[in-house]
Amino acid sequence: MLLSIEKRFVFVHIPKTAGQSISAALAPWAVKTEKTQFRRLLSHLPVREDPTHAWPRPHGTARWLRHKLPADMFDSYFKFAVVRNQFDFLVSYFHYLRQNETSRRHADALRWSFSEFLGYIGRKNRTNSVSQLSWITDAKGGMLVDDLLRFERLDEDFARVLDRIGLGGAIALPHVNRTQRKDYRDYYTARDRKLVETMFADDLRTLDYSF
Same structural domain for residues 74 and 155?
Answer: yes
Same structural domain for residues 114 and 20?
Answer: no
Torsion of CA 56, 61, 62, 66, to 10 degrees: -60
Q: What residues contact 11, with CB distance under 8 A and at least 6 apart? A: 1, 2, 19, 22, 23, 26, 79, 80, 81
Same structural domain for residues 89 and 79?
Answer: no
pTM: 0.89
Same structural domain for residues 108 and 184?
Answer: yes
Same structural domain for residues 37 and 15?
Answer: yes
Q: Do 3 and 51 touch, CB atoms closer than 8 A?
A: yes
Evaluate if residue 190 carries a pLDDT over 90.
Answer: yes
- Mean pLDDT for all residues in the chain: 89
- pLDDT value at residue 177: 62
- pLDDT value at residue 100: 87
- pLDDT value at residue 24: 92
User: What mean pLDDT comes out for the span 127-155?
Assistant: 93
Evaluate if residue 122 carries a pLDDT over 80.
Answer: yes
- pLDDT: which is higher, 78 or 128: 78
Q: Which residues pair with 143 in a beta bridge?
A: 137
Evaluate if residue 25 carries a pLDDT over 70.
Answer: yes
Same structural domain for residues 171 and 196?
Answer: no
User: What mean pLDDT comes out for the span 150-156?
Assistant: 95
Same structural domain for residues 143 and 171?
Answer: yes
Q: How far apart are CA 135 and CA 128, in angstroms?
A: 10
Name the band, by pLDDT with cuts 50, 70 and 90, for residue 68: confident
- pLDDT value at residue 130: 87
- pLDDT value at residue 50: 76
Same structural domain for residues 12 and 94?
Answer: no
- pLDDT value at residue 183: 94
Same structural domain for residues 72 and 122?
Answer: no
User: What mean pLDDT comes out for the span 53-81?
Assistant: 87
User: Tens digits of per-residue pLDDT, 86-101?
Assistant: 999 999 999 999 998 8
User: What mean pLDDT comes out for the span 157-185?
Assistant: 85
Q: Which domain holds residue 106?
A: 85-131+180-211
